[in-house]
Structure 1
Amino acid sequence: MEIAGLVGEFVEKYRGGAAPLVEVGDAVLRRGAEPVNGQVESGLLGEMVEILFATMRAAPGVGVAAPQVGIPLQVAVIGDPAEVAEEVAVARGRRPLAEFTIIDPTYTADGDEVGFYEGCLSMPGYQAVVRRPESIIATYQDVDGGRHSERLTGWPARIFQHETDHLSGVIYIDKADTRSITTNANLQKWWSQPTPAEAAQTLGFTLP
């Protein structure tokens, strides 16, 4: 089915609410998503985006990409209330990030790599340390067709990279240090420090 038809069926089914999340093992998460490039009428695209936001809030999460709800289209939504302890916020560069949409996004590194634990709504129950550039130049289009290029740093940069990677068929675990993998329960029990330095020393992986 063509993309416009797929999006139309999706919107008809989930309009006004959240959609179920696709989990690892589903091929849609490993396909390169198609550029929007006018394939979907703006009103329909806007409705799809509202469902993505509802899905993100319901999870809850800080981002959802269209492939995570079964739509192979280069669209994702991002937003982070950053309700974390001050020492965590400072160590991770995590601050409140207003919700916004990224369409056909790309990014380039603009800083050194840092490693932190991250997880994915499509791979529930686990987290792992991923090294990512702490600062990036992010380019994307918004839902109204406006084009943006901006420098993102800290946790907003990490979220943007994570969601953009989804649109290329990349899941965070592809970039993770596998020795760092932990269940969410064990993360909270042992490795909830602001940085993963103690986890790295104990579990035997390296940080930048």
Structure 2
Amino acid sequence: MASPTDHAPLAELVEQLLSTDGPLPIVAAGDPVLRRGTERYDGQLGPALLARFIEALRLTMHTAPGVGLAAPQVGVPLRIAVIEDPAPVTEEVRLARGRVPQPFRVLVNPSYEPLGTARAAFFEGCLSVPGWQAVVARPVEVRLTGEDENGRTVDEEFSGWPARIVQHETDHLDGMLYLDRAELRSLSSNEAMTERWTQATPEEAAAALGFDVPD
């Protein structure tokens, strides 16, 4: 998918994307739109178009499937992301990763800051880097501020896997991919993950692939 031109009005770009029913094409790493950062949302789409765009992001996220999707991942450089995680994991994984269900929610103009110094490292993937995963260390707890789709203030603390999701998606809005934070010796294909690294934590992968679990 080609990146939007710098001169294309954002509303026009979104209308064009929504002209075809179904999920939106996801932009892959290497497209400049993923690296430019985003424009703060300030009504550029209008309420009706924003609602349609959010629903398209939700459909695209579900179809992929993923637990989060940021506007730049469909070629739109606006500071908007969606998250939702049914967390269909084993009890072992839930306990190790702090992965608990998250309802669908919209993040508008989000930013985060770590709470405390605790960090956790786990394999992480991205819909814009299909087929691969790598270990990323992130703060265990963060404070997320911003707005929802109705302009209401969001000021919330997240921990465990939900904190990882909001960090990952907010990073997209700053032109950052998870690989920028990853331990690259851990980089593994999805096939290798299925065959070798299904453990709840990455210690076995670290020993076999020759990297230290970051903290």
Question: What fraction of aligned residue pairs are identical, expressed as a percent?
Answer: 49
Q: Which residue of 2 aligns with 1:172?
A: 178
Q: Which amino acid aligns with 1:140?
A: G
- Structure 1 residue 7 corresponds to structure 2 residue 14: yes
Q: Would you say the 8 A contact 1:89–1:95 is kept in 2?
A: yes
Shift of 1:63: 0.5
CA distance in 1, matches of 2:12, 2:25: 19
Shift of 1:187: 1.0
Q: Which residue of 1 aligns with 2:30?
A: 25
Q: Would you say the 8 A contact 1:140–1:149 is kept in 2?
A: yes
Gaps of 5+ in 1: none
- Equivalence map 1:41-52=2 (5 Å): 41-52=46-57
What TM-score does the superposition give when structure 1 sets the normalisation length? 0.96
CA distance in 2, matches of 1:147, 1:176: 31
Aligned length: 206
Shift of 1:202: 1.8
Q: Which residue of 2 aligns with 1:64?
A: 69
Shift of 1:123: 0.7
Shift of 1:109: 0.4
Q: Which amino acid aligns with 2:46?
A: E
Alignment partner for residue 59 of structure 2, among 54, 57, 73? Answer: 54
Alignment partner for residue 37 of structure 1, among 33, 38, 42? Answer: 42
Shift of 1:46: 1.0
What TM-score does the superposition give when structure 2 sets the normalisation length? 0.93
Gaps of 5+ in 2: 1-7
- Equivalence map 1:5-154=2 (5 Å): 5-11=12-18, 13-15=19-21, 17-111=22-116, 112-154=118-160
CA distance in 2, matches of 1:48, 1:156: 23
Q: Which residue of 2 aligns with 1:199?
A: 205
Secondary structure of residue in 1 paired with 2:127: coil
- Structure 1 residue 181 corresponds to structure 2 residue 210: no
Q: Which residue of 1 aligns with 2:4?
A: none
